[in-house]
A and B are shown apart, each in its own frame.
Chain A
Amino acid sequence: EDQVTQSPEALRLQEGESSSLNCSYTVSGLRGLFWYRQDPGKGPEFLFTLYSAGEEKEKERLKATLTKKESFLHITAPKPEDSATYLCAGLGSASKIIFGSGTRLSIRP
């Protein structure tokens, strides 16, 4: 059965303090590994899709990477506006998109 696990559940950083969020996955026939950002009271907002091991994508202070078992979301010199819940999800051969439980990121000024 497809499974996506994220860690840590919550992360508090000082502004400018870089860190990484982890996503471990077991998804049969991976067709895409996704990262989303979710703000309170809103729907998830798409950030990145990764398709194969070794692939990397960047957007502003965020960089997503993919291995055969894990994905990482690296946050460089974060700002308070980066505070949100970050969700990882996998699409497999069964056409289901399965989500992890998310990492709540808080950036203190």
Chain B
Amino acid sequence: NAGVTQTPKFRVLKTGQSMTLLCAQDMNHEYMYWYRQDPGMGLRLIHYSVGEGTTAKGEVPDGYNVSRLKKQNFLLGLESAAPSQTSVYFCASSYSIGVGNTEAFFGQGTRLTVV
């Protein structure tokens, strides 16, 4: 099992460029999450999904869009990158059906720099 895989691992963008981050999980998890992590600020939730075809806003959704067309994939898009979006992005997934099994498992992160 690969678990949660994020693509790419590193990327440098110019201001105004667009890109898509891909998260893939092979654990048949229902819930998927996108977070950003900045120094001293912990993990902040951008968007999340509770199932295929559904998405919802988290704590810091502005400037990002997401899609979950397939259960195993969760895409995070930046339409017009800004320097404030320089961060490390983490994807996570969890089973979260019924009682128990609610913990999320994380990918290794994507380090994005916007210049």
Interface residues of A (CB under 8 A from B): 6, 9, 31-32, 34, 36, 41-46, 49, 51, 87, 89, 91, 95-102
Contacts and interface: CB of A to CB of B under 8 A. Distances in A.
B106 A102 contact: no
How large, as a class, is the contact surface on chain B?
20 to 34
B92 interface: yes
A43 B90 contact: yes
Contacts of A46: 103-105
Contact of A31 (B56, B58, B92, B102): B102
7 contacts: A31-B96, A32-B102, A46-B105, A89-B43, A95-B31, A97-B94, A100-B42
A42 B4 CA distance: 13
Given A44-B43, A101-B41, A102-B42, A96 B48 contact: yes
